Structure 1
């Protein structure tokens, strides 16, 4: 059983720009043994896919991880030396990013140790631990011109040739776009998610897809995933859950994207099961063209008490759709199958680990959402860990304009932040519709940014609606202002702490927040809706008219929904390039200087709990229980994962 808050040490490690936390799994001990065994095998299936994401993120990542871990494990020199400590930091960084590129900026890490130091340590390794392509690995690690960017989003460049991600090899952006334009059937109202589970290469001068499946790419890892999914299927809570687990096994076995759609429909229609999970190639943020899914998994179970608010939202989904400030042509006439719940995360894996989302809305296929609905979740034990770890960090005192605003945020930010996530995931992503014949990939490289902006705007607009008071989700009509202030402050200023001087904003979620905030600032300028003000030589954000700000959010939501519904690439590109990319150098420098006085890491992530099977005392009767513990630290966990879940050949 988890310790009380005052005894639970949330912070595990701190290095570079990263803070690693723990999260609790409250009420796990109250689940039935069958549910615990289901979770156990699903967590094993989750951890078995670790190597897949590493390889997707870069073709040399696994070999570099092995090399650095071997040097670290076999090091016998002075462990207080500057170079050894730099080696340890680099190892922690690539673990956190699942590869040699930063998980947010996408820039390649620059080691603080020398090439000579690493070469010497390699020479001291046992022969069995020396990688055969060491010279290549050293060049990748130390040459800044080699694979400098995991995902490049710079306008006017070939986004595939300038990205180091390993989902393309030997092909250009023009070739890939032409390939998919040729094979897509624009009259198909139920299209598969083209390119979701493949690497694109060139064979005999033609673009070819290599599928991720048993017998194909990543077969060694997928076979282990499937083995654990089959074990989990035996403990399914009901026939519906067993059906979608078995369908997922079929998809992994065949690589057939129609099977994935069938799985997605079965999954989103199962709303009765308490235990749930995602496992597969899902979100496409790390594809410069926004098509191929990065491998990830989250295992969870329903937080019954907290889910009451998301159930209220999903029950009223049609009201929110009908009152949306978008052109009625782009609204859904009938919202189908929106289910939402608050969950307790039990394990994080792949692209959801160590950094993780706080909300999920799936499936991503627009036609499945329209015909069968969607499933939305908020990971409240994760948001709780963030909240507990941030107490007393000095952020509000440094950046929030005045005491009344700080007090409002202290009182209401946790609930309004969670409600924003609920609205974003539960209703925002599921709202609206494409016009007939519009390709869901029409917005290309800007699709992820615009989709996140659309969902955020939907949430922001409705967070201030009296309907939330009527539904009992908020008890103060002023509460929404806490989230509005934090959002605009973050979008205009404080998220810049994550950007290196001279760099543009590139990550989709950061671009989304900047786009919304900058657009609202510019379009509210005449009425001074938002202002930059100086106090004691420091810049602050002041919101003068929250009502007009809500109106601006509604206007922008209407335009972005139009762009998505009509597939208006040029208008979408213009919005992103004008408002979401470029950074004001003076504001940026000031934000970095003010953050430097605070003990706040720009990025946070997690170590997982450890699940252990407890056998019956006679040793023959099977499993008596599954226990959860929180004692494993960052380095031991990563080293154990590398030992126990290394599945792919190097």
Structure 2
């Protein structure tokens, strides 16, 4: 069965051939992008080109905010600053993985931008662009904005929406600037350091990525499976059927996919297929047991062959783990629980063991009231089109004790609020384990998109049986919410909501995370045949209009493996609906200091925000694939549909002040607490019923009823969607700070300092301007490491043949 394990050498050979070809092209062609460069207009036609630019080009007015964390950092003790520094380094070093998880070209684009901005100061580059390539001020701003958006998303697809973005700049001008900077690189002698660095010079990188940066042919417009989209969680030759087969195989092995990718590597004997399941780990040895699986052993399943291998992203996890070890040595008398969390996390990185990461997560949940919160691993599954594999994530934050006090009050009353939810007690956890719910000042958050709040861990069995933590990212909300647009409301309602935006958003995040993700029970059957619910009583009585319980999770099944790509969207919808529903109860809002006379107004503002967000989110719906690109958006639209169905909300198409089609939504406050409450309760009961019972097909049908725009009867919704696309406003970016030991001028020299020296020095947090230049400089300071860039290049080169289309 050698065919299942012989693809690595071939991949490297093909990759070397390709990079050799492109490097040669960079040196011989008279055009900086060679003959391969084609304009968008020539590819798709002038009319469609204009529409695509409107939808996919980076907005030149993209708002940018700066993450403020200086006061929180300065308030730490020296050993705590040392710990935060090393854990931030661990996050940044591991975060390179996210580029690989976004697209095949993203690592090359990252290296290209790092080299371009590393060779010259921004002002010098602007002068070069203006004099050599005739950049206008708008062109230059578009170039900077593209770089800032790319860095912020850790790749060239939006983390929110999974849609591709391209520069709002002609490809010929981008190519001209690359050629001009490339000449400087050659003149400086920086393209002959090592063989691989010579191959990864600026012109070679452009020739490998330039056309892909601008490619908006149908398949490249979104992240997803073949044949309609692209992903790097599966090789380019994998489609929905392949993903479903791999999912079945994983369930049969009683294992999960969180830290893995899938490569359909070869055709085996008699035309059978071979799937390599590649696990992220430092270790590359592929033999022996790992958790419940056997490494390197080729197995047959339903006519195909499967093999587990590890060593994916080895270089990056190794460096991240090294910084974690350094962090654990920052304290003379380390907290035993926190050291154990780090040890298990490092073990999971070292071996690829999910069991080790689950042990780290269990200890993390039990570690109450720390001064500093960190959590690392492969966490969120939004990006995987199959909904099972997770992107790398790591965050480091300081607990804000004053703001946490309010959230603690919510936790203390959570058990009183759970009975308000519209499902029977048997659908709730047997025991509600009160979690930590803290307000955090984020120092570093490495992932394609920084959220406003989190409920972790994402392992449902731990969350249901052992507990979880909620975190509210206070300084993230403070930095970004003011730039978050409100649309499609009357001027009066918009003004009212703007005046209460921070309060309303605070309530949504709190209820969504704690009582949304933290509520509800899964019904499970275990290997010995026992059940964790009363099948007899639940199987004989109807639950609302959804019938009796006839289904549950069998041994080896999890929520993620059962619901697949539906899992994230369905759960986010359930959590958001919990927040919307519970806002109708004055005793819940009292936690935020809202008295009974003001409660109805605040609930009204909250429902208005849900409506505005839902209509804006319509822009994320893809007409070709009839799917949503973002996990939270379909749930918000479903909530709006429930409001409309109940006669509580209305949406009309009107003429805007600019004379173009616009939307206007209205909400009948008098019906919210009667018809609205009843409708929201019934919808929420359905969401919980299908999640508890694990009936994926019924859940999909139920969800599609409120979220699908395909087929007859959705003509008006599609008109709304087009208006949302035409009036779409860009989401704000977030520039994060960096930490430096003593007065070290750059991250390169900072990382060269020994651990002992770091423990004897002071640490300074540098905050950057809220601008594209600030974003670019923050990445130059944190991540400009030639050796690490070589690792990125060789890893991307190895992967490249798997993603050729």
Q: Shorter-normalised TM-score: what interval?
A: 0.7 to 0.9
| Aligned partners of 1:52 and 1:218 also within 8 Å | yes
CA distance in 1: counterparts of 2:499 and 2:209, whole angstroms: 51
Taking the TM superposition and a 5 Å limit, the aligned residue runs for 1:46-61 are 46-61=91-106
Give the stretch that moved more between structures: 116-125 or 605-614.
116-125
The match for 2:690 is 563
Q: What 5-or-longer segments of structure 2 have no aligned partner?
A: 1-57, 192-197, 284-310, 526-552, 657-661, 710-715, 745-755, 795-805
The match for 1:4 is none
CA distance in 1: counterparts of 2:93 and 2:102, whole angstroms: 17
- What secondary structure is seen at the aligned counterpart in 1 of 2:312? coil
Q: Residue 407 of structure 1: CA displacement? A: 5.6
CA distance in 1: counterparts of 2:66 and 2:784, whole angstroms: 21
The match for 2:594 is 474
User: RMSD value over aligned CA atoms?
Assistant: 3.1
- Residue among 300, 303, 312 paired with 1:217: 312
Summarize the Cα distance change of 1:460–1:40 in structure 2 as closer, same or farther, 3 Å threshold: same
- Residue among 507, 513, 531 paired with 2:650: 531
The match for 2:778 is 637
CA distance in 1: counterparts of 2:470 and 2:354, whole angstroms: 22
- Residue among 357, 360, 365 paired with 1:268: 365
CA distance in 1: counterparts of 2:160 and 2:501, whole angstroms: 24
| Aligned partners of 1:321 and 1:432 also within 8 Å | no
Taking the TM superposition and a 5 Å limit, the aligned residue runs for 1:128-277 are 128=198, 129-130=201-202, 132=204, 135-145=207-217, 147-152=219-224, 159-169=225-235, 170-184=237-251, 194-203=256-265, 204=268, 205-215=273-283, 216-235=311-330, 238-277=335-374
Q: Residue 300 of structure 1: CA displacement? A: 0.7
- Residue among 595, 604, 616 paired with 2:732: 604
Summarize the Cα distance change of 1:432–1:89 in structure 2 as closer, same or farther, 3 Å threshold: same
Q: Residue 401 of structure 1: CA displacement? A: 2.4
| Aligned partners of 1:57 and 1:164 also within 8 Å | no
- What secondary structure is seen at the aligned counterpart in 2 of 1:211? strand
CA distance in 1: counterparts of 2:264 and 2:627, whole angstroms: 32
- What secondary structure is seen at the aligned counterpart in 1 of 2:395? strand
- What secondary structure is seen at the aligned counterpart in 2 of 1:373? coil
Q: Residue 592 of structure 1: CA displacement? A: 5.7
| Aligned partners of 2:412 and 2:434 also within 8 Å | no
- What secondary structure is seen at the aligned counterpart in 2 of 1:280? strand
Q: Residue 37 of structure 1: CA displacement? A: 1.4
CA distance in 1: counterparts of 2:86 and 2:420, whole angstroms: 43
Give the stretch that moved more between structures: 576-585 or 551-560.
576-585
Taking the TM superposition and a 5 Å limit, the aligned residue runs for 1:335-346 are 335-346=432-443
Summarize the Cα distance change of 1:218–1:81 in structure 2 as closer, same or farther, 3 Å threshold: same
Q: Residue 488 of structure 1: CA displacement? A: 1.8
Q: Residue 111 of structure 1: CA displacement? A: 4.2
CA distance in 2: counterparts of 1:85 and 1:465, whole angstroms: 48
Summarize the Cα distance change of 1:293–1:132 in structure 2 as closer, same or farther, 3 Å threshold: same
Give the stretch that moved more between structures: 358-367 or 469-478.
469-478
- Residue among 100, 109, 117 paired with 1:64: 109
| Aligned partners of 1:38 and 1:232 also within 8 Å | yes
Q: Residue 68 of structure 1: CA displacement? A: 4.7
Q: TM-score, normalised by structure 1?
A: 0.85
CA distance in 1: counterparts of 2:409 and 2:501, whole angstroms: 20
Q: Residue 224 of structure 1: CA displacement? A: 1.0
The match for 2:613 is 490
Q: Residue 504 of structure 1: CA displacement? A: 5.9
State the Cα deviation string for residues 593-621 of structure 1 (Å, max 9, x = none): 6x58xxxx4211211122222389xx989
Q: Residue 328 of structure 1: CA displacement? A: 3.2
- Residue among 503, 511, 514 paired with 1:423: 511
Give the stretch that moved more between structures: 574-583 or 164-173.
574-583
CA distance in 2: counterparts of 1:88 and 1:536, whole angstroms: 35
Taking the TM superposition and a 5 Å limit, the aligned residue runs for 1:11-26 are 15-16=59-60, 18-25=62-69, 26=71
The match for 2:664 is 540
| Aligned partners of 1:16 and 1:89 also within 8 Å | yes
Q: TM-score, normalised by structure 2?
A: 0.69
| Aligned partners of 1:58 and 1:150 also within 8 Å | no
State the Cα deviation string for residues 22-47 of structure 1 (Å, max 9, x = none): 12114322222222211111111111
- What secondary structure is seen at the aligned counterpart in 2 of 1:102? coil
Q: Residue 406 of structure 1: CA displacement? A: 4.5
- What secondary structure is seen at the aligned counterpart in 1 of 2:386? coil
CA distance in 2: counterparts of 1:406 and 1:171, whole angstroms: 46
Summarize the Cα distance change of 1:629–1:140 in structure 2 as closer, same or farther, 3 Å threshold: closer
Q: Residue 432 of structure 1: CA displacement? A: 0.6
Taking the TM superposition and a 5 Å limit, the aligned residue runs for 1:280-299 are 280-299=377-396
State the Cα deviation string for residues 498-525 of structure 1 (Å, max 9, x = none): 6789986421111121122113312x0x
State the Cα deviation string for residues 229-271 of structure 1 (Å, max 9, x = none): 1111123662111110111111111111111111111111111
- What secondary structure is seen at the aligned counterpart in 1 of 2:454? strand
Give the stretch that moved more between structures: 328-337 or 35-44.
328-337
Give the stretch that moved more between structures: 245-254 or 109-118.
109-118
Q: What 5-or-longer segments of structure 1 have no aligned partner?
A: 1-13, 153-158
- What secondary structure is seen at the aligned counterpart in 2 of 1:424? helix
| Aligned partners of 1:409 and 1:482 also within 8 Å | yes
Which protein shows a greater Rg?
2
The match for 2:462 is 368
Asked whether 1:100 is paired with 2:222, we answer no
- What secondary structure is seen at the aligned counterpart in 2 of 1:434? coil
Summarize the Cα distance change of 1:469–1:130 in structure 2 as closer, same or farther, 3 Å threshold: closer
- What secondary structure is seen at the aligned counterpart in 1 of 2:599? coil
State the Cα deviation string for residues 107-160 of structure 1 (Å, max 9, x = none): 3334454555555555552253146576553442344338514423xxxxxx35
| Aligned partners of 2:114 and 2:784 also within 8 Å | no
Summarize the Cα distance change of 1:177–1:389 in structure 2 as closer, same or farther, 3 Å threshold: closer
